[in-house]
Amino acid sequence: MKIKNLKSSLLICSALLLSTANNNFAAIASTASTTITASGTVVGTCSVTAGAMAFTTLSQSGTTVITSSVTPTCTNGTGWTITNSGANEGYIYLGSNAALVGTSRIAIPITVSSGGAAFTLANASTGKLIGTGNGSAQEQAGALTGTAESASGKVAGVYGGTITLTITY
């Protein structure tokens, strides 16, 4: 009986050994993680347009007043300031010839409509328009007022000039 038990034990051991030899035990998985830091910058940009100051017929007996709208377009959240560049502090010239003086030049001092501060380079600390962009055009209707002096004694003709605005952002 011992041999029979021994044979049975050997047979069982052999079967177990064969079954484990053909098994692929899965390896225990390990994990690790990390993060990616993402960043970017939105650069603020601005542009500005302005409506014409078309005085049409200038008065011979008094001043002629007109306004101009100014429209800044800036990236959302971008602060802006609009000033006079100083290239022309407020004159129109016969035939748009900026070299002319005296009776061929008409003063048109420009002021900021709200508050009346002179819109000149020398007065840029108070004579300015300020705001914050919202990503769209922001019309400042009638923001600047031009007051043409009396045309009395001036040479007859068509007068013109260019006032350059500067937007800082």
Cβ-Cβ contacts under 8 Å for 13 (sequence gap 6 or more): none
More reliable by pLDDT, 52 or 28: 52
Average pLDDT over residues 71-77: 98
Q: What is the pLDDT of residue 26?
A: 57
Nearest Cα neighbor of 159 from 167, 168, 148 is 148
Highest mean pLDDT among 15-24, 85-94, 141-150: 141-150
Confidence bin at 89 (pLDDT 50/70/90) = confident
Q: What percent of the chain has pLDDT over 70?
A: 84
Could you tell me if 79 and 62 are in contact, meaning their C-beta atoms sit under 8 angstroms apart? no
CA nearest neighbour of 49 among 116, 138, 161: 138
Q: What is the band of 77 on the pLDDT scale with cuts at 50, 70, 90?
A: very high
Predicted TM-score (pTM) of this structure: 0.76
pLDDT of residue 87: 84
**Stretch (H or E) spanning 66:** strand 64-74
The residues, ordered by sequence, that sit 6+ positions from 119 with a Cβ below 8 Å of its Cβ are 83, 84, 90, 110, 111, 112, 127, 128, 144
CA distances from 10 to 1, 18, 19, 29, 60 (A): 14, 12, 14, 35, 130
- Tell me how far CA of residue 41 lies from CA of 38, 44, 84, in angstroms: 11, 9, 30
CATH 2.60.40 fits 46-168, yes or no: yes
Is the pLDDT at 38 greater than 60, yes or no? Answer: yes
Q: What is the mean pLDDT of residues 143-153?
A: 97
Sequence-distant (6+) residues with CB within 8 A of 74 are 44, 45, 46, 47, 80, 132, 133, 134, 135, 138, 169
Q: How many angstroms separate the Cα of 4 from the Cα of each of 1, 96, 141?
A: 5, 126, 111
Mean pLDDT confidence for 17-24: 53
**Residue carrying structure tokens 């000039």:** 161
Q: Check residue 158 and give its pLDDT.
A: 97
Backbone phi, psi, residue 122, to 5°:
-65, -25
